[in-house]
Amino acid sequence: MQLFENQNLKAYNTFGMEVFARQFIQMENADEIPTIINDYLKREPYYILGGGSNTLFTKDFDGIVAHPAFGGIEVKERTYDNVLLRVAAGEPWDNLIQYCIRHEYFGIENLTAIPGLVGSAPVQNIGAYGVEVKDTLYKVEGFRISTGEPFELMNADCQFSYRNSIFKQALKNDCIITYVWFQLSIKEHFTLSYQGLANAMAERELPMKLRYVSECVRKIRDAKLPDPKIVGNGGSFFKNPVISSEEYEDLKSQYPDLIAYDAPDGQKKLSAGQLIEKAGWKGKRMGNAGTWKNQALVLVNYGNATPKEVLDTAETIVKDVNSLFNITLEMEINRI
C-alpha cells in the first residue's frame, strides 16, 4: 500500500472537483486489505473510491480515502458455452471490454466505454443499452470493513435491481470489493433491445461482430455523453423515476410524447432526461455548472465549478421538474 497525506482528489473524480482527502491509501493488492482495515479504516471515517466516475465530492474529506489500484483478468474456467473470468477491482472497466472483444467473449459489449473500475460496477449495477452488469455477473469477492472478514456473494445474493444492489443498501459502506467474477458466453449472442443500437447497426450495414457492436455503442455514447477527460461529469446525475401506471396515464394525457418503459410490478419508468429537457434545462448553465447539450440528465462542470455550484444547479433542476410534473428526481450519483 501507499499512504499519502492531504491528497488532491481532482484527478480521482471525473466531475473534476478540487477537494482534498486528509489521507489517501492506494491499495496495491487484495492480501493487504485486512491490515489496511484494521490499522486505518477502523479508526477513521473512510470512503472507498473506485474510478470516481459516480462520486460527487461536496467538500474536503476529513478521513481516509482508500482506492483499489490492483488490476488483472484471469480465466478461471472454460466450458463448451461459457467462460468464467475473475477480474480485480482496480481494472478499468473499459479494459475488460477490450479484453472480451479480443477473446470473443459475449455479454458485456453494450457496456462499452463506461468510465470507472470493475470493482465499482456491481455497487450500482451499471447498465446501458439494454444490458446491466447483473446479467453476466457470477459472484463478488471482498472484505467486510466492520469485521475485517472476507466475503463472497453470489449473483442472487447481491439483490440487484435498477441502479441498486446490496452494496448500496444493507452493506453500504461496509465492503471493499476485491474481485468480480463474470460468466460470459463463448457462443455468439447479442442484445439489441435498445432501438438506437439496433438502428445504428442496421444503418451502417455492419456485420454482427462483437467489435462492431462495441464500436456502435461507443459512437452512441460519444454523441450523447461528454468525455469526462474533456468536460467534467459523472454520467447520469439522477435516476430515471419509476411511477405507477395511473400516475403515468395522468401525465401522458398532459404530455402525449412522454417516454416510458415498462418497470417491475406494472410500473412505468420515465426518462429523467426528457423531464429535465421539458423543464427547460437542456444545455443550460448556472454559473460554472449546468446540463449537457445532448443529454440533459448529465450535469457537467463547465470549468472550475465548485461543489456548491453543482449542488445548487441540481437542486434547481429538481425543483423545476417537480413543479412541472410533481415528480421528485432522486440522485443517482454518490454525494460525499
* Binding site residues, ligand EPU, CB under 6 A: 128-129, 194, 224-225, 235-236, 239-240, 259, 271, 273-274, 277, 282, 295-297, 332
- The secondary structure element, H or E, covering residue 232 is strand 232-236
Q: Which of 91, 141, 163, 309 is catalytic?
A: 163
Q: Which of 53, 221, 236, 277 is catalytic?
A: 236
Active-site annotation holds for 163: yes
Active-site annotation holds for 236: yes
Minimum CB distance to ligand EPU, residue 239 (Å): 5
**CA dist., res. 50 & res. 68, Å (int):** 7
Minimum CB distance to ligand EPU, residue 1 (Å): 30
Q: What is the DSSP string of 181-206?
A: EEEEESS------SHHHHHHHHHTT-
Minimum CB distance to ligand EPU, residue 292 (Å): 8
**CA dist., res. 151 & res. 143, Å (int):** 6
Judged by beta carbon, residue 271 or residue 334, the one nearer ligand EPU is 271
**CA dist., res. 247 & res. 269, Å (int):** 11
Judged by beta carbon, residue 2 or residue 199, the one nearer ligand EPU is 199
**CA dist., res. 127 & res. 155, Å (int):** 15
CA 10 to chain centre: 19
Judged by beta carbon, residue 90 or residue 235, the one nearer ligand EPU is 235
The torsion angle over the Cα atoms of residues 218, 87, 238 and 113, rounded to 10 degrees, is: -10
Q: In the sheet where 285-286 sits, what is the strand order?
A: 232-236, 295-301, 289-292, 285-286
Minimum CB distance to ligand EPU, residue 194 (Å): 6
- Residues 124-161 as b/e (b if ≥16 CB within 10 A, e otherwise) read bbbbbbbbbbbbbbbbbbbbebeeeeebebebeebbbe
Q: Name the nearest CA neighbour of 40 among 17, 70, 67.
A: 67
Judged by beta carbon, residue 27 or residue 192, the one nearer ligand EPU is 192
Q: Are 159 and 165 in contact (CB under 8 A)?
A: yes
Q: Which of 91, 132, 215, 332 is catalytic?
A: 332
Please, is 303 exposed, middle or buried when counting C-beta atoms within 10 Å of its C-beta (0-12, 13-18, 19+)? Answer: exposed
Judged by beta carbon, residue 111 or residue 305, the one nearer ligand EPU is 111
Minimum CB distance to ligand EPU, residue 208 (Å): 19
Minimum CB distance to ligand EPU, residue 277 (Å): 4
Judged by beta carbon, residue 100 or residue 128, the one nearer ligand EPU is 128
Active-site annotation holds for 74: no
* Catalytically active residues, by annotation: 163, 236, 332
